[in-house]
Structure 1
Amino acid sequence: MDTQNITIVDENGNETLCEILFTFESEELKKSYVIYYPVGSEDEDGNVEIFASSYDPNAGNEGSLDAIETDAEWDMIEEMIAAFDNDEEQ
């Protein structure tokens, strides 16, 4: 698998390098999503805290990440992460 990274900049201007686990699009919501985690954040068991954002690759010169807005979006994201985990275990 090719590793893809993004740099997340918080409201204080702090940058965090993150590895992208996967991206997907929702036809129903007409949005794109990215699932990622901070590089080097693995615990002693290799577990990471996963983050999700919607994104617009055409916004600005580098695209933009936006917060997940609804419970329906979170439900869909959780289903996608579970499917990803199942695929990785096989």
Structure 2
Amino acid sequence: MANEEKIHPGENDQQITLIDDKGNEELYNVLFTFDSEDYGKSYVLLYPEGAADDDDVEIEAFAYTPDENGDASSGDLFPIEDDDEWAMVEEVLNTFLADDDMQ
């Protein structure tokens, strides 16, 4: 199935502002980024700024173009529209969350 993915935890100061369809801005923290050899893309997973550890948090995921430093914070974000690609991203997220629970 998928190749081994290299997960890069988000830096404390790595944040992205998302703008919804109505023009509202919301600040998100980077949970982690990873690259997929199968799809030839980089991905970023985000959660809302100010979310408490015990809150159920909706995590946003995007493919992205890294900036000159390889970061997602100032590169372009792209929606993930392919079902198989979504399944791969969810699998990586579930592995990340399971590993995080073990620590």
Mark yes or no: TM-score above 0.5: yes
Q: CA deviation at 1:9?
A: 2.2
1:79 & 1:19 partners in 2: Cα distance? 20
Secondary structure at the residue paired with 1:69? coil
1:42 & 1:66 partners in 2: Cα distance? 27
Letter in 1 for 2:33: T
Structure 2, unmatched stretches of 5+, are 1-8, 68-73
1:55 aligns with 2:64: yes
Secondary structure at the residue paired with 1:23? strand
Q: Which runs of 4+ in 1 moved over 6 A?
A: none
Aligned counterpart for 1:6 among listed residues 2, 7, 16? 16
Identity %: 48
Q: TM-score, normalised by structure 1?
A: 0.82
Aligned counterpart for 2:92 among listed residues 69, 80, 84? 80
Q: 1:25 is matched with which residue?
A: 35
Q: Identify if the C-alpha distance between structure 1 residues 12 and 57 changes in structure 2 by more than 3 Å, giving closer, same or farther.
A: farther
1:11 & 1:55 partners in 2: Cα distance? 19
Q: TM-score, normalised by structure 2?
A: 0.73
Structure 1, unmatched stretches of 5+, are none
